[in-house]
A and B are shown apart, each in its own frame.
Chain A
Amino acid sequence: MANKGYLVDTTKCIGCRGCVVACKNWNQLSAEPSKFTGSYQTIKDFSGNTFTYIGFNEYEENGQMKWFFTKRQCMHCLDPACAKICPQKALSKTDTGAVVRDMSKCVGCQYCAAACPFHVPRYNAKIVKETKCSLCSERVAEGALPACVKACITGALKFDDRDKLLALAKERVSSLKATNPQATVYGEAEAGGTNVLYVLADLPSKYGLPGNPQTSAVTQAWKNYVKPYAPWLIALTAAGSLFSFFSTRVLKVGQAAQTVHEEEKLHG
């Protein structure tokens, strides 16, 4: 099946946070009280109870205040680093490309959080598991829209096949270029491509999105070399000890010449 995802057209987002409420509602996530810190942005970051939030990025340009709204959630990578690193194989891709978690397999080790190039998965201490957006795969499987897309009133969120959305995003960006020369499509190639795409009117960094999202080199080295090969060191020393156990007794290495050994008790 074709990869499905949604396009976030940030130029159409008005920051109403209807998508955030719909997400909390559908996923039965409790609200978390927050404090006013000088911004309209009420939810500062992901949490074990927050799969999506709107970033209110404020800038002053030519004496004018500019707001860049960024709906943040799991990007649903085409080649998800989290699924690769999960020691319990709790993360997998659905046939439409959504990255989903099998809660019964998740042990809450948080390795996925370390691997995620977008730093999305969060630990929920109450259920002792990592959590994140599942692209409402259970709704999509029934032919419904993801909760956030369904709630969006301005058409900033559009759910469809990835190919169609990509074409749409490129078209939108080319028309934006006239007024916003930095306009770009985000998610086409970032982190190997993602199922959630963005139309950005400016540089990704202005939206609080990583310019070059990558799994850290340390995590990659750990995943590719340390984890699969290093434990053999234990097998090696265990095998060495086992060999010694037999070579000193059964094989009687080096004892042919010295049949009786004076210090039997001392030396074995």
Chain B
Amino acid sequence: MADSEARVEKTTPEARFVHWSHTITWFIMLLSGMVLYSPWWHWLTPVFGGAPHADLVHKFFAVIFIAVPLIGLIVKPRSFVDWMKTAVKWGKDEIVFMMKFPLDFIGFKVDMPPQDGINAGQKINSLLFPIVGLGLVLSGIVMWFTWRFPPSWIPIAYIVHDACWIIGTAQVCFHAYLGSLHPGSGESFWAMFGDGKVKASWAKHHHAKWYKRVYGD
């Protein structure tokens, strides 16, 4: 029996670093992108030192946005593969979790089936995000180096870029809330933004399958 107050490692330093870098770059690029997207955000322009500089900031952080996960992928390819393998593993527990989730979301106490290291909702997030990210990167490259691509690609790049950031940001709203302020999520927040450790009792409750596999009973 593990001590109920013992803390166990939930996320590796590498995973936390990539997550940190992604969080920061996402928001900076979201805001600098907004300045270019619509005159509604005109008031934000001075923060970046004018629209052309917002464009420059957007491109600068785009490089980090691409480079960090790419380096991670090269250094620890297994880590990404394992994450994706977990994310695509769907069974009855995942489906039941998702069906009960709306009740949990508005505050009902529900008994959830045991979950993996990431629960069914997190699995959706884990699958969607790389797609959105890849869509943003590929369309962004076309938008950045317009003259290197056929003219017919450019309008497609714009629509893909917008669809991806909109889906991604909508997803970030849920992801950020569910990972921090949603009742019971405090631990997972510090697992990602703190030292990567969570209370064993919490891990056992929220990620039973994973806890059993990694730390035994």
Contacts and interface: CB of A to CB of B under 8 A. Distances in A.
A28 interface: no
Contact of A109 (B36, B147, B185): B36
Contact of B177 (A230, A244, A254): A244
Contacts of B162: 222, 226-227, 230
B64 interface: no
B151 A119 contact: yes
B109 A255 contact: yes
A87 B152 contact: no
B136 interface: no
A255 B107 contact: yes
A230 B185 CA distance: 29
A119 B154 CA distance: 12
Interface string A251-268: 111110010010101111
A111 B147 CA distance: 14
Contact of B39 (A87, A227, A252): A87
Interface stretch (A135-143, A159-167, A233-241): A233-241
Interface residues on B, range: 35 or more
Interface in B174-192: 174, 176-178, 181-185
A261 B111 CA distance: 13
Contacts of A238: 173
B107 A267 contact: no
Contacts of B184: 266-268
B146 to A, nearest CB: 6
B158 A107 contact: no
The secondary structure that dominates the B interface is helix
Contacts of B155: 114-115, 216, 218-219, 222
Interface stretch (B11-19, B49-57, B65-73, B86-94): B49-57
A110 B107 CA distance: 46
B205 interface: yes
B166 A230 contact: yes
**Interface-centre pick from A123, A230, A236 (highest chain B CB count, 10 A):** A230
Nearest to B50: A107
A238 B37 CA distance: 20
B205 A218 contact: no
Interface string A201-226: 00000000000000010110110001
B55 A267 contact: no
Contacts, number: 123
A66 interface: no
A240 B170 CA distance: 10
B14 to A, nearest CB: 28
A239 B158 CA distance: 27
Contact of B103 (A123, A249, A254, A261): A254
B104 to A, nearest CB: 9
A144 B167 CA distance: 51
Nearest to A243: B106
B217 to A, nearest CB: 18
B158 A234 contact: no
B166 A234 contact: yes
B159 interface: yes
Given A89-B39, A249-B183, A111 B158 contact: yes
Nearest to A122: B147
Contacts of A63: none
A231 interface: yes
Nearest to B186: A268
B61 to A, nearest CB: 17
Closest 9 interchain pairs by CB?
Answer: A268-B183, A254-B108, A241-B177, A253-B107, A107-B51, A237-B173, A248-B107, A219-B155, A128-B52
Interface of A: 87-89, 107-111, 113-115, 119, 123, 128, 216, 218-219, 221-222, 226-227, 230-231, 233-234, 236-238, 240-241, 243-245, 247-249, 251-255, 258, 261, 263, 265-268
20 contacts: A87-B37, A107-B54, A107-B55, A108-B55, A110-B143, A113-B154, A218-B156, A221-B159, A222-B155, A230-B163, A233-B166, A237-B174, A240-B105, A241-B173, A241-B174, A248-B183, A253-B108, A254-B108, A265-B202, A266-B184
